[in-house]
Structure 1
Amino acid sequence: MYLYTAQEMRDLDRYTIESMGMPGVALMENAGGACARTLMKRFPEAKRVVVLAGSGNNGGDGFVIARYLSTAGWNVSVWRSGPAEKMSPETRAFHEVCRNMGLAVKPFEPGREGELTTDLGQADVAVDALLGTGVRGELREPVRRIVQTLNRSRPPFLLSVDVPSGVNTDTGEVAGEAVHADLTVTFAAPKWCHYLLPGAKACGEVEVAPIGIPQAAVERHPPRTRINGPALWEDHLLPRSRWSHKGTHGHLLVLGGSRGMLGAAALSGMAALRTGAGMVTLGVPQGQEIPLSAKVTEALVWGWPEGDDRCFTRATPPDWEKRLSGFDAVAVGPGLGRFDGETEWLEDLLFSIPCPLVLDADALNGLAGNPSILKKRGKPTVLTPHPGEMARLTGISVKEVESSRHRIALELAEKTGAAVVLKGTYTVIAFPDGRQVVNTTGTPALAKAGSGDVLTGVLGALLARGLPVESAIPLGVHLHGLAGRLAVTASDHSVLASDVIEKIGDALHQAR
């Protein structure tokens, strides 16, 4: 499934109408009908509803909804936000249908707030069809006053059409007043605001309704962003060949596990093995091999020359180049720690590793001073920051990162030439060529130390197995989120990172 910006959706609508001959009134009829059917399904017995309709196409959807519900026996009250002469032609046509049916269509004017409040107070359901995908900045009058009245006198259930009025479609920004829906029915495909805060909270539950846009039109105007799903990776989840062996499925090196943080490296290694890597080597500072071997008996353990406090040192092992030839992917960061010379150490690694590389945790912090150096690496690289690490990489605040997750992730991908996995409720994956993927399989259960280490191992394993970056990353993020969901058996408070690892196999099975 694709995800659209406001402009991409306008272009798709325009092409569907002008080039494919689909009448705009047909799309409006389908959109309003979909919303009405959703309400009738949720409320099998007729209810009292107030429909708030604007003068644009969103308002036309509202008039269609009012017609459908009235025909189904609902008690319908309609309020419009502007004069009829300012309506789009399609909206005006459906406005006239409602009037001809005898529905009371009341124009909202200053001083009628009390009447609208009374209607809303008596209603079971309200429909927000005031504004569509073109909102930028604060609401203008009279819509602002209508929304204020709605927020003060909110019925038990509120449906927003496409996008809640007051929410910026492309950023999720809420500049002032905004409708806070229980359900948003959006058309053809999701929009960015359905996944970006604070707009995503205002949307409530989101349901996508087809409205008859032909697939040929979608193929002619594909957006740059997709919702994560099997189409991106299903060709790489085939059963193993009966002739395969451990060398067939890749060898991953994980560098991390400094003193006091061995658990992070162990989690990454176990996650990689569960994801199907044929072999995993855990590279840890010398002296940490014995305790780590007791934790992870299935992985190989290798001691790196240690520095102070059993951390890494810039000195490379004498057999480093020889060993490198045996690895198919490398992950650096789980339990790495901070140490003198870490930036130089990391830069040496970047240009000596000839295979795909995943950077997480303190490996990202070591890059914070000069992330653009990655552009010179010339090999597939994946960055997996949480918002705090992203803030350090980009030199901005966590608040700024969270206010524009998709834009910040894409800018870093373009700056570094690396694929960026910005972790969060809806993890955003950004590729240097401008493509993006939004993941929807996460769960609050993953808000636990060690979850990021598990993701690093999953991604490293898929890259070691030879999956291309554009498939490995969406698949890995999907599996990680799905395994987190499957790990919730009693409470999402009590899930451990090790529980998530145990469910990777089930997630792989379900993903096929």
Structure 2
Amino acid sequence: MYLYTAQEMRDLDRYTIEQFGMPGAVLMENAGQKAARALLDRFSEANRAVILAGSGNNGGDGFVIARHLAAAGWDVSVWLSGSVEKMSPETRAFYGVCRKMGLAVKAYDPSRSQELAADLGRADVGVDALLGTGVRGRLREPVQSILRMVKEIRPRYILAVDVPSGVDTDTGAVLGEIAGADLTVTFAAPKWCHYLPPAAKFCGELQVVDIGIPAAAVEHHPPRAQVNTPALWQHHLSPRSPWSHKGTYGHLLVLGGSRGMLGAAAMSGMAALRTGAGMATLGVPRGQEIAMAAKVTEALVWGWPDEAEGRFSGELPPDWEERLNRFDAVAAGPGLGRFEGEGAWLEALLHRTPCPLVLDADALNILSRDLTPLKERPQETVLTPHPGEMARLTGTSVQEVEASRHRVARNLAEETGATVVLKGTFTVIASPDGEQVVNTSGHPALAKAGSGDVLTGVLGALIAQGIPVKQAVPMGVYLHGLAGRLAVTDSTHSVLASDVIAQLGRAIHQTP
């Protein structure tokens, strides 16, 4: 499923109208009818509805919604913000239909604010069709006042048409007053604001409806972003051959597990095995092998040069190149810690590791001091930062990262040549070629220490199995999120990272 910017959606609409001869009024009718159907499906009895319509195409959708609800027996009143003169021909046509049907269409001005407040107070359902996807800059009056009133006198249920009024479609910024929605019905495909904070918090349930745009038009104007669905990668989840063996499914090396943080590396290793890696080796500082071996039985353990305090030293093992041909992928960071000579250690790892490399946790914090070795690395690398780690990698703040998650991730991927996995409620995956994938399978149960270590192991395992990074990363992020959902039995609060590992098999099995 594609994910659109406002301009990409305008281009798609225009191409559909001009090249396929699909009248704009037909698209508007389809959009309004589908949005009205979403309400009729949720409410078994007729209700009172207030439709708030602007003079743009979003308002045209609102007039269509009003007509369909009225036809179903609802008590409908329509409030117009804006002028009839500024309406598009399609919007003006549907406005005229509502008037001829005898629907109450009232032009808003401040002198009628008490009348609007009374209508909102009586309404069961409010429909926000004030502003569409093209809004930029701070909201102007009277929209500010109307949205403030809706926020204060909130009807029992609010439907937003395409996007909640008051958000920037492309950045997710809130541009002024915002009432928020219980349901957002968006047309043809999701928009960025549905997955970017803070706008995503105001969308409620998201429903994507088909309004008749031909598939050929979509393929002629494909955007650079998609929503993460199994269709992107499920062909790599084929049944295993009865003639296969452990060597068939790759060997992952996990580097981490300094003293006091062995659990992080252990969880990565176990997650890798649960995700199908044929073998996993845990590289830990010398002296930690016995403790690690007591924690895991299925993984191999390899002692690395240490500082005699259970921490890594700044050197790679002397037999590094000799042993490299045993591994199909390397994951570094879970429980790695900070240590003397860490910068040279990571630079050597980046330069002397010929297979794909996944970096997480302290490996990212070390990297943030100097991105040059990463930029010089010809092999594929995956970075998995949370917003704090991303802020360090980019020299910004968490607030700046969260204000533009997709752009920050894309810029870092293009700058470094790495695949970037910016973790969060809707994890953003950015490839060096500028393409992006947004994941929707996550769950609040994953807001627990160790979840990131599990993801690192999952990604490393899929890459070690020979799945291309372009498909392995969205696959791993999706399965990790689904496993988090499946791990919830009694309470979201009590899910542990080990519970998520235990559900990886079910997540793979349940993926179509």
TM-score interval, smaller chain: over 0.9
Q: Find the counterpart in structure 2 of residue 206 from structure 1.
A: 206
Partner amino acid for 2:99?
A: R
1:141 has 2:141 as partner = yes
Q: What secondary structure is seen at the aligned counterpart in 2 of 1:22?
A: coil
Q: Find the counterpart in structure 2 of residue 403 from structure 1.
A: 403
In structure 2, C-alpha distance between the alignment counterparts of 1:368 and 1:332, rounded to whole Å: 14
1:31-50 residue pairs with structure 2 within 5 A? 31-50=31-50
Shift of 1:308: 4.4
In structure 2, C-alpha distance between the alignment counterparts of 1:296 and 1:62, rounded to whole Å: 59
**CA deviation profile, 1:288-345 (whole Å, cap 9, x unmatched):** 0011011111111100011142211122222111111111000000100000110111
Q: Find the counterpart in structure 1 of residue 22 from structure 2.
A: 22
Structure 2: state its 5+ residue gaps.
Answer: none
Q: Find the counterpart in structure 1 of residue 155 from structure 2.
A: 155
Shift of 1:136: 1.4
Q: Find the counterpart in structure 1 of residue 426 from structure 2.
A: 426
1:50-449 residue pairs with structure 2 within 5 A? 50-449=50-449
Partner amino acid for 1:140?
A: R
In structure 1, C-alpha distance between the alignment counterparts of 2:373 and 2:415, rounded to whole Å: 9
In structure 2, C-alpha distance between the alignment counterparts of 1:174 and 1:346, rounded to whole Å: 40
In structure 2, C-alpha distance between the alignment counterparts of 1:94 and 1:40, rounded to whole Å: 20
Structure 1 residues 186 and 372: CA distance shift in structure 2, 3 A: farther
C-alpha contact 1:194 1:203 (8 A) present in aligned 2: yes
Shift of 1:145: 1.8
C-alpha contact 2:338 2:362 (8 A) present in aligned 1: yes
Partner amino acid for 2:117?
A: T
In structure 2, C-alpha distance between the alignment counterparts of 1:95 and 1:318, rounded to whole Å: 77
In structure 2, C-alpha distance between the alignment counterparts of 1:421 and 1:132, rounded to whole Å: 30
In structure 1, C-alpha distance between the alignment counterparts of 2:350 and 2:186, rounded to whole Å: 44
Q: What secondary structure is seen at the aligned counterpart in 1 of 2:154?
A: coil
Partner amino acid for 1:178?
A: I
C-alpha contact 1:137 1:174 (8 A) present in aligned 2: no
In structure 1, C-alpha distance between the alignment counterparts of 2:210 and 2:76, rounded to whole Å: 25
How high is the sequence identity, in percent, across the aligned residues? 73
TM-score when normalising by structure 2: 0.99
**CA deviation profile, 1:100-149 (whole Å, cap 9, x unmatched):** 11111111112110110011111111111011001112211222222122
In structure 1, C-alpha distance between the alignment counterparts of 2:498 and 2:278, rounded to whole Å: 20
Partner amino acid for 2:300?
A: L
C-alpha contact 1:373 1:416 (8 A) present in aligned 2: no
Q: Find the counterpart in structure 1 of residue 458 from structure 2.
A: 458
C-alpha contact 1:253 1:282 (8 A) present in aligned 2: yes
Partner amino acid for 1:458?
A: V
In structure 1, C-alpha distance between the alignment counterparts of 2:43 and 2:484, rounded to whole Å: 33
Q: What secondary structure is seen at the aligned counterpart in 1 of 2:309?
A: helix
How many equivalent residue pairs? 512
Partner amino acid for 1:497?
A: A
C-alpha contact 1:483 1:500 (8 A) present in aligned 2: yes
Partner amino acid for 2:206?
A: V
C-alpha contact 1:372 1:415 (8 A) present in aligned 2: no
Partner amino acid for 1:103?
A: L
C-alpha contact 2:159 2:182 (8 A) present in aligned 1: yes
Shift of 1:372: 4.1
In structure 2, C-alpha distance between the alignment counterparts of 1:58 and 1:156, rounded to whole Å: 22
Partner amino acid for 1:3?
A: L
The root-mean-square deviation of aligned C-alpha atoms, in Å, is: 0.8
Q: What secondary structure is seen at the aligned counterpart in 2 of 1:493?
A: helix
Structure 1: state its 5+ residue gaps.
Answer: none
**CA deviation profile, 1:131-173 (whole Å, cap 9, x unmatched):** 1001112211222222122222211111110011101111110
C-alpha contact 2:350 2:373 (8 A) present in aligned 1: no
C-alpha contact 1:381 1:418 (8 A) present in aligned 2: yes
**CA deviation profile, 1:356-395 (whole Å, cap 9, x unmatched):** 0000000000001122431210001000001111111111
C-alpha contact 2:50 2:78 (8 A) present in aligned 1: yes
Q: Find the counterpart in structure 2 of residue 3 from structure 1.
A: 3
C-alpha contact 1:426 1:440 (8 A) present in aligned 2: yes
C-alpha contact 1:439 1:477 (8 A) present in aligned 2: yes
TM-score when normalising by structure 1: 0.99
